Amino acid sequence: MGLLSRKATCNSHGQDSSYFSGWEEYEKNPYHEIQNPKGIIQMGLAENQLCFDVVEKWLEENPDAASFKRDGKSIFRELALFQDYNGLPAFKKALAEFMSEIRGNKVTFDPNHIVLTAGATSANETLMFCLAEPGDAFLLPTPYYPGFDRDLKWRTGIEIVPIHCSSSNGFKITKAALLEAYQNAQNLNLKVKGVLVTNPSNPLGTTISTQELNLLLQFIASKNLHLISDEIYSGTVFKKPGFVSAMEILDQNYKHDHQIRKQVHIVYSLSKDLGLPGFRVGAVYSNDEVVVAAATKMSSFGLVSSQTQYLLSAMLSDKKFRRKYIRENQKRLEKRQRMLVNGLEKAGIKCHKGNAGLFCWVDMRHLLGSNTFGAEMELWRKIVFEVRLNVSPGQSCHCSEPGWFRVCFANMSEPTLDLAMQRLKAFVVDSTTTTVTSLGIRSWNTNSITVTTTLSNQLDTKRKSVAKWVFRLSVQDRVSEPRDR
Ligand SMILES: Cc1ncc(COP(=O)(O)O)c(C=O)c1O
């Protein structure tokens, strides 16, 4: 017997995943425009830094809120002593309004059904503690947010069973995939307690369709399960089709079905939509009062500080600010996503068609040496160490197909994103040139932008066209754009 607990010494935290080790590499050599221009650019972090100026402007115009004052008088002592785990009523009301506003006011949220938590991390774990016993399982569509292996499983003892989604239908959730996952769990002797989805999806950057939501609700009704809808990215939807919350479908199709309503729970947070992960503000929303009561008691372990609640209740109850922020945030995210998609396209790389989130789900299957996760890791290492971009490999998101990567776009400036794209393009050109050379093809005619030797039939058709296309684009760009090296 060791001196420490099994929990403290087991490695089920998931810290060894390439998702986290990419961050470690970044920490060792972080890119800085002036101090470290050859450093690693962080594209593995889903942070939203695009609207800080809008928040800062509001803070400037509302100095009382951040300096613990009400009508000019200090409320420091009141806030310093406040420790009610039900949360500040004014904050819960403002948060409920913000959540409704994001959903185009098609649904309303009752502040009494909100439990405040230290971020969505804590909200998801709290729901696991409320809904399942150690050893029970939740079904999750793949690819999924790598942090779930820690948040849902580590301290609770819950198991995740993947619902395998595939690129062949745009990673949509199907009835067959749900049933297969359910059967797999049973084969493993695991009791299934529910399904957890992220809507919009991290890492896909897409919203879940009404059809899929209906399917999920029918599925949980037929098997008597819970549905957790992690809607942490609900305010990042910038393009059609718009966002439909699980709550909206409940209101439309299950208005009077109290049982099903009790089985659906929403997770929310201000980490992404408002860009405040450091503030640690999250929430569980449930129609089941027993879940609300239990989660409220559990929230003692991860409360939101009273000064944060006070500041944000002032900010989010300001209707004008709310509207402006939501609109501006979506506009800027759309522009950024387009920049990334266009940049990747110039490097001959395509993305899964996204309409939300702080990242793109990028298809680099054509750059793999073979169709294996080993080849994906090899490519990932090159991207981290040679191209010096930290991106998240699909394997860390439990994707069933090798060659997909999550690439974030909202945690850096436009020039940094530009530089990242130049580096990637140079890498693709170099690696496709190397591939061709290694296959016995000698020289490139860089003036006429054609390959002088006939391409070997050892190259597959896809790879061939990408190499040509990228090469052509890169030579054009070399004329007009400075390169990184
Ligand atoms: C889908 C999803 N859920 C939960 C979290 C955790 O968020 P928070 O910072 O609010 O704990 C993240 C963070 O990336 C996420 O992507």
CA of 281 to the centre of ligand 1 (A): 11
Query: What is the pLDDT confidence band of residue 1, given thresholds at 50, 70 and 90?
Result: low
Structural tokens at position 25: 């590499």
Give the nearest ligand 1 atom to 123 CA: 11
Nearest of 84, 99, 104 to residue 284 by alpha carbon: 99
- In short, whether 125's Cβ falls inside 6 Å of ligand 1 is no
Torsion, Cα 291 292 297 303, to 10 degrees, reads: 130
Ligand 1, atom 3: nearest CA belongs to which residue? 120
Give pLDDT tens digits for 412-424: 999 999 999 999 9
- In short, whether 126's Cβ falls inside 6 Å of ligand 1 is no
Structural tokens at position 464: 């061939």
Structural tokens at position 87: 């949360």
* Residue 456 confidence (pLDDT) above 70: no
Residue 212 and residue 166 in contact, taking contact as beta carbons nearer than 8 Å: no
Query: What is the pLDDT confidence band of residue 430, given thresholds at 50, 70 and 90?
Result: confident
Query: What is the pLDDT confidence band of residue 462, given thresholds at 50, 70 and 90?
Result: very low
CA of 146 to the centre of ligand 1 (A): 10
- In short, whether 145's Cβ falls inside 6 Å of ligand 1 is yes
- In short, whether 205's Cβ falls inside 6 Å of ligand 1 is no
pTM comes to 0.89
CA 71/CA 69 separation, integer angstroms: 6
* Residue 482 confidence (pLDDT) above 70: no
pLDDT of residue 79: 93
* Residue 304 confidence (pLDDT) above 80: yes
CA 281/CA 312 separation, integer angstroms: 10
Q: Letter for the amino acid at 247? A: M
Q: Letter for the amino acid at 469? A: W
Supply angle C-alpha 340, 341, 344, rounded to 5. Answer: 85
Q: Which of 47, 269, 281 to mutate to test the pocket of ligand 1 (most atoms within 8 A of CB)?
A: 269
CA of 477 to the centre of ligand 1 (A): 37
pLDDT of residue 434: 65
CA of 121 to the centre of ligand 1 (A): 6
Residue 388 and residue 265 in contact, taking contact as beta carbons nearer than 8 Å: no
Residue 268 and residue 99 in contact, taking contact as beta carbons nearer than 8 Å: yes
More confident residue, 414 or 435: 414
Across 218-224, average pLDDT? 98
Give the nearest ligand 1 atom to 270 CA: 10
Give pLDDT tens digits for 335-347: 999 999 999 999 9
Q: Which backbone phi and psi does 482 adopt, to 5 degrees?
A: -70, 145
* Residue 274 confidence (pLDDT) above 90: yes
pLDDT of residue 119: 98
CA 227/CA 231 separation, integer angstroms: 12
Across 299-303, average pLDDT? 94
pLDDT of residue 383: 96
Phi-psi region of 440 (alpha: psi -120 to 50; beta: other; left: phi over 0): left
Query: What is the pLDDT confidence band of residue 435, given thresholds at 50, 70 and 90?
Result: low
Question: What is the rounded average pLDDT for all residues in the chain?
Answer: 89
- In short, whether 273's Cβ falls inside 6 Å of ligand 1 is no
- Which residues are the active-site residues? 145, 230, 232, 272
The residues with which 389 forms a beta bridge, in sequence order, are: 41
- In short, whether 146's Cβ falls inside 6 Å of ligand 1 is no
Give pLDDT tens digits for 75-106: 999 999 988 889 999 999 999 999 999 999 99
Helix (H, G, I), strand (E, B) or coil at 375: helix
CA of 237 to the centre of ligand 1 (A): 16
- In short, whether 269's Cβ falls inside 6 Å of ligand 1 is yes
Residue spans of alpha helices (H) in 303-457: 306-316, 319-346, 373-385, 414-438
DSSP single-letter state for residue 51: T
Give pLDDT tens digits for 353-399: 999 999 999 999 999 999 999 999 999 999 999 999 999 999 999 99
Residue 310 and residue 68 in contact, taking contact as beta carbons nearer than 8 Å: yes
Q: Which of 115, 198, 232 to mutate to test the pocket of ligand 1 (most atoms within 8 A of CB)?
A: 232
* Residue 464 confidence (pLDDT) above 60: no
Give pLDDT tens digits for 184-210: 999 999 999 999 999 999 999 999 999
Structural tokens at position 150: 């820690």
